[in-house]
Amino acid sequence: MKGIIKKEFLPDTPHREIPQQKLLIKGLDLIEMLTKATAFLGCDLEDFRKTSRISASRVLDRDLLLYGVWQLGVRTNSQIGEIFGLTGSAVSRRIGVLKLKAEKDKSVRKKMAEIKSILEI
């Protein structure tokens, strides 16, 4: 019920002059949302946190999750990086790489949209 109310009455991006909208969005349980997204992708968030280098087959999954969180706009790149065991600049770089892949690959764009819909408020 709570998600439906948020989705219906909150804008996609909080208005910068309405602090209540910013507070509500910042109060999201990001880990819970990421757990749903990792289940969809068939991966584990803890694997991304623990491992300094992930397999090539899982890079796209991690980058999709990074992008989804980044799109929400509720955390800085450094804060997002802490979730995944990366630096803020690495998050920025991975977002750029994913955007380039999406320009060329329709299946990547489709997965991006699916992850975004899972992580939506």
Per-residue pLDDT reduced to its tens digit, 54-113: 888 889 999 999 999 898 887 889 989 998 889 999 999 999 999 999 999 999 999 999
Radius of gyration of the chain (CA): 15
* 13 found inside a domain: no
Residue 48 near residue 85, CB atoms below 8 Å: yes
* 20 found inside a domain: no
DSSP string over 39-90 = HHHT--HHHHHH-SS--HHHHHHHHHHHHHHHHHT-S-HHHHHHHHT--HHH
* 7 found inside a domain: no
Query: Could you tell me the CATH number of the domain that includes residue 81?
Result: 1.10.1750.10
* 16 found inside a domain: no
104 lies in which domain range? 29-119
The count of domains in the chain is: 1
* 11 found inside a domain: no
* 69 found inside a domain: yes
Per-residue pLDDT reduced to its tens digit, 104-119: 999 999 999 999 888 8
